[in-house]
Structure 1
Amino acid sequence: MTSSTPNLVRPPRATGTAAADRPARERWAALLVFLLPMAVAMTWVLPSIGHRQLWRDEHCTWWASSIGYPDLGFLIEHIDVVFTPFYASMHVWIALVGTSPTALRLPEGLAMAASAGLLGLIGRQLFTRRAGLLAGLLFALVPTVTRYGQEARPYAFAVLFSLLATFLLLRALERPTLRIWTLYALAVSLTGLSHLVALSVVAAHGVAVLRARRGGHHFVHWAFGCAVVMGTSALLPMVAKGSGQAGQIAWNEASLLDVATYPRDLFGSWFAGAVVMGLGVVGLLMAGHKAVMPAVWAALPPALTFLTSDRLHLFLPRYLLFTIPAWLLLAAAGADRCAEGLIRLRWMGRRGRAAGWVLVTGAVAGFAFQVFPAVATARQDLPGEPDYAGAGRIVRAGERPGDGIVYDGEFSERKAMSYELRGGARPKDVLMRLTPQEIGWYSAAECDVPADCLAGHRRLWRVSTPAGGAHSVMRARTAAALAQQFRVVRTERLRHLTVELLESRGR
C-alpha cells in the first residue's frame, strides 16, 4: 500500500513539471539556434577583416562617408542616391571609430554574423530546429558571406534586414499583434533602404500571407498590405531619384553566360553553389507547402532582375546576396528530410535523434572543409585591383615638402590614393582644377592647360594603373607637358600599378 501511493501521485507531478519546463526548453533551444551560427559566422568573417585592401567601391564608401553632409547631399544629387542611408550611417560610424579597413568593415561583419543567427531562427520556425541550425551554420560558411562581410558596402545589411523582415512576418502570422506588424513595417523599410533590390523579398512574404489567409486568418492580408505600404512609403523619394541615376550601372549587361555562372558567383565557389542549390531542389520537392515561400524568395529576384537587365541593369550576384538564405533554408530542409529517412531505416527513439545531430555535424564539417579554400581566397585582395596600399607606402617614405602628385588611369586612382595618404600631409594634386565636392562626383576636374598647372613644381609623383606606366589613359596634352617639363628618376612597379618619381628638367 505504501509503495503504491507514490505511483498514483508522481505522474501528475511529472506531467506538470514537463509542461512547465517546455517553454523554458524552447527558449534555450531558440537561443542555441541563434547563437551558435552567429558565433561560427564571427569566427569565419571577422578574422583578417582588415587584411584585404579596399577596392574601388569601398573607396567610394569612405569618400562619401567622410565628406561633410552638405557635400554628401550634393554628391547624391548626381550619383548613388540609393546608398544615401548607408553613407549617412557610415558617416556617424567613422566619426566614432575611424577609417581603417577594419573599422569600415566591422559593421558589415557583425551584420553577417547576426544574419546567420536570424536564419537559424527562421529555419526553426519554418521547418525544424535541426534544419534551422543547419541553415544558419551553412550560411556562416558560404564564401561570399565572408567576402561581403569583409566589404564596406551595404549588401550585408540587405541580407540582415531581409531576414529580420521575414522573421517578423512569421511571428506576425503566428501571433499577430500591432507591435509585431509595426516592427515588420519598419524592417521592410530598412530592407529597401539598405538596397532596393532586396525589397523583392516582400513578394515571397505575400505568398506566405496568402497561405495564411487560406488557412483561416481572414484579416491578415489587410495587416500585411498596410505594413508594406507604410514600410515602402519612406522609400518613394529615393526610388524616384534613383530611377534617374540608373545610367551609372549601364555597364552591367547581363548575358546567358552570367546565368550559367550565377551559382558560382552567388555562393563564391562551384562546390558551394552546386551543393546548396542541389539540396535546395530536394528540399523544394520534399518539404511541401512550407518550401513555397523560400522558393519564391530564392528564384523570383534573379529572374526579375535578369529579365529587366537591358533597362535596369540590376542582375549582379552581389545585389542578389539576400537570396542566399532562401536557398539555404531549402537545402537545410532537404538535408533534414534525407537524414530523417536514413534514421528511420536504422534507428528509433533517442538513438535516432542523436544520429540526426551527428549527421548534421558531419554535413557542416564536410562543407566547411570543401569551401575553406574559397573562403581563404575571399579574404585576399581582389583580382585585378591595383596595389594602392603599396603605392601609398612608397610615396609616404619618399615624399618631401612641396612634392606634387598626378594620376594616370581609369580606376579612380585619385580617390584611392587619397584614402591611402589620409590622416596627414600629402603631395599636392597639381592637376586638379575642381575638387570632387565642387562637381558632386567621385572624380575631380583637371586643368585645361596642364603646362601651367605643372609649372613651378620641382618633384612629382605619378601613379599609373596602366601596367607598364604608359600614358595610354592620360590626356595627350597632359602627357606631353609632363614629358617636356619632367624626367623620370625612379620607377617602382607594383601589382597592376606603377609609381614614378619625376624631377623638373629645369633643376
Structure 2
Amino acid sequence: MTGRKIISINVNFLKNPIFWIMLGAVLIRLILLIDMPYTYDEYSSLIRQGMPTFESMIENGIRTDGHPAGLYSFLRVYVSIFGTTPWVLKLPFVLMSIGSVWLTFLIGKTWFSNRAGWLGAAMLGLLAFPVMNGLIARQYTPGLLFCLLSTWCWTKLVFEPSPKAWKWALLLGLSFTGAAYFHYFAALFCVILWLAGWMFVKATHRKYYLVSAGIGILLFLPHVSITMDHLAIGGIPDVLPVPGWDFIVHHFGFISNFSWFIGVPLIFLALAAVLRRFWLSKRSVLALVLFLAPIAIGFIYSNLQSPLLQDRVLLFSFPFFGIWLGSVWKGVDQERFLRYVVGGFILVALFVGFDRESHRYGLMTKGAFEDVLERSLA
C-alpha cells in the first residue's frame, strides 16, 4: 500500500508541466555554466575587487560607474571567500536565475491560471536572452530576482490581503530595496508596480502599502549621494546609441533569439491575445503595462536626456510578457494550451541553439585578460 502511494506521487509529479520546464531551465544553465568564460563586463566588476579597501572601491569604482553598489558589494564578500574561478563566481547568479523562473510561474498562476504561469516560466527559463544573462555575474539577474520577489510580496499584500499584511509589507519594502541596490531599471520597475497597486489595494491595507514604500526609501537613503553622482554622469553615449523607433522591433528579435521559429509564434500569440480583448481584465492590462512601461520610459529618457535604454535593462520586466500572453487564453482548454502552445514553444526553444546569441553577448575566451585580472586582484 505504501509503495503504491509513493509511486503514484512520483508519477503525478512527473506529469506536472512546471517540473519539465524547471528541469529544462536548470539543465541548460548548468550545462552552459561548465565552460562559460568571463565577459568584458564581468572583468570590469572583478577588477574593482582589487582596490585595496571597500571605501576606495566606493569612491573610485562605484561613484564613477553608473550602477548601484549592490553587485560590487556582494562580489567584495563573495570573491574574498570563494575566489574567482568562473563557474564558482557565476553559480549564485545561475541559482538566482533558476529561482526567477519558479517565481514567474507562481506569479502567473496566482494572478491568472496555470497557463500564464507555464508560458511565462517557459519563456524565462528557455529563451537565450534570460538564460545568457543568468550566466553572467552582473546586476541583471539579482535585479530580476528582486523584482519578482517584490511582485510576489506585492501580490500577497494587494491581491490576497490577510491579517499578516505587516509581514508582506516588510518583505515588500526589503525587496524594493534589493532591486534598487542592484539596478536603477529594477528600481523603476518597482516604482511602476507600486504606483499601479493603488488601483487594487484595499482601503484597509493602504497604511501597510505606504509602509512598504517607506521601508524601501529609508533603506536606500545611504545610497542617495552615490545615485546623485550617477545622475550627474548621465548615460554612456560613447557606448549606447540613442534608440530609434525601430528599437522595439530589434528588442523583439533579441528576446526571440533572432529566430523566425520563435518570433513568428510569439507574434501570433500576441495578435491573438489582442483580438481576444474581451478576455482582458485589470490584471491582464497590468501585466502588459509592467512589460511595456519600462520600454516607453527608457525610450523617452534616452532621447530627451541620456541614452540608457538597451536590451538587458528590460530583463526585469520581461517575465510579464509571457505571463500576459498566457493570461488571455481563459477560454482555451488547458490540455490543448499545454500541448500546442507551451509544449511547442519548449521544443522550439530547446532546439534553437545558443551559439549565435552567445556571440552577441561577447562571450570571449579569457585570453590576455587573465593576466590583467590576476594583477588587479593581487
Separation (CA, whole Å) in 2 of partners of 1:386 and 1:114: 27
Kept in 2: contact 1:191–1:198 (CA 8 A): yes
Counterpart position of 2:313:
319
Verify: 1:188 aligned to 2:173, yes or no: no
Verify: 1:210 aligned to 2:198, yes or no: yes
Counterpart position of 1:418:
372
Verify: 1:58 aligned to 2:42, yes or no: yes
TM-score by length of 1: 0.63
Counterpart position of 2:123:
138
Q: 1:238 to 1:74 in 2, by over 3 A?
A: closer
Separation (CA, whole Å) in 1 of partners of 2:208 and 2:97: 29
Any idea what the Cα deviations from partners look like across 1:418-468, whole Å, max 9, x if unmatched? Answer: 23xx3xxx8xxxxxxxx899xxxxxxxxxxxxxxxxxxxxxxxxxxxxxxx
Higher RCO (CA < 8 A, seq sep 6+)? 2
Kept in 2: contact 1:266–1:321 (CA 8 A): no
Kept in 2: contact 1:280–1:327 (CA 8 A): no
Separation (CA, whole Å) in 2 of partners of 1:52 and 1:256: 34
In structure 1, the gaps of 5 or more residues are 1-24, 344-355, 393-414, 427-434, 438-507
Counterpart position of 2:161:
175
Separation (CA, whole Å) in 2 of partners of 1:103 and 1:249: 33
User: In terms of mean alpha carbon deviation, does 56-65 or 367-376 score higher?
Assistant: 367-376
Counterpart position of 1:264:
253
* Aligned counterpart for 1:40 among listed residues 20, 24, 45: 24
Count residues with an aligned counterpart: 353
Kept in 1: contact 2:120–2:321 (CA 8 A): no
Any residues of structure 2 matched to 1:84-483 within 5 Å, and which?
Answer: 84-173=69-158, 174-176=160-162, 177-206=165-194, 208-213=196-201, 217-233=202-218, 234=220, 235-248=223-236, 251-252=239-240, 253-271=242-260, 272-276=262-266, 278-280=268-270, 282-283=272-273, 285=277, 286-310=279-303, 311-334=305-328, 336-337=329-330, 340-341=331-332, 343=333, 356-357=334-335, 359-372=337-350, 374-377=352-355, 380-382=358-360, 387-389=365-367, 392=368, 417-419=371-373, 422=374
Any idea what the Cα deviations from partners look like across 1:281-305, whole Å, max 9, x if unmatched? Answer: 5446233222121111011000011
Kept in 1: contact 2:236–2:308 (CA 8 A): no
Separation (CA, whole Å) in 2 of partners of 1:77 and 1:207: 29
The one-letter code sitting in structure 2 at the alignment partner of 1:260 is: V
RMSD, aligned CA: 3.0
Which has the higher Rg, Structure 1 or Structure 2? Answer: 1
The structure with the largest helix share of the pair is 2
User: In terms of mean alpha carbon deviation, does 195-204 or 99-108 score higher?
Assistant: 195-204
Separation (CA, whole Å) in 1 of partners of 2:69 and 2:131: 24
The alignment-based identity, stated in percent, is 18
Cα deviation, residue 317, structure 1: 0.7
Q: 1:360 to 1:34 in 2, by over 3 A?
A: closer
- Secondary structure of 1:261's aligned partner: helix
Counterpart position of 2:6:
none
User: In terms of mean alpha carbon deviation, does 277-286 or 240-249 score higher?
Assistant: 277-286
Separation (CA, whole Å) in 2 of partners of 1:254 and 1:316: 8
The one-letter code sitting in structure 1 at the alignment partner of 2:161 is: R
Cα deviation, residue 186, structure 1: 0.5
The one-letter code sitting in structure 1 at the alignment partner of 2:136 is: E
Separation (CA, whole Å) in 1 of partners of 2:17 and 2:61: 40
Kept in 2: contact 1:134–1:332 (CA 8 A): yes
Q: 1:62 to 1:221 in 2, by over 3 A?
A: same
Kept in 2: contact 1:277–1:331 (CA 8 A): no
Cα deviation, residue 322, structure 1: 1.1
Cα deviation, residue 314, structure 1: 1.5
Cα deviation, residue 135, structure 1: 2.0
Separation (CA, whole Å) in 1 of partners of 2:131 and 2:43: 19
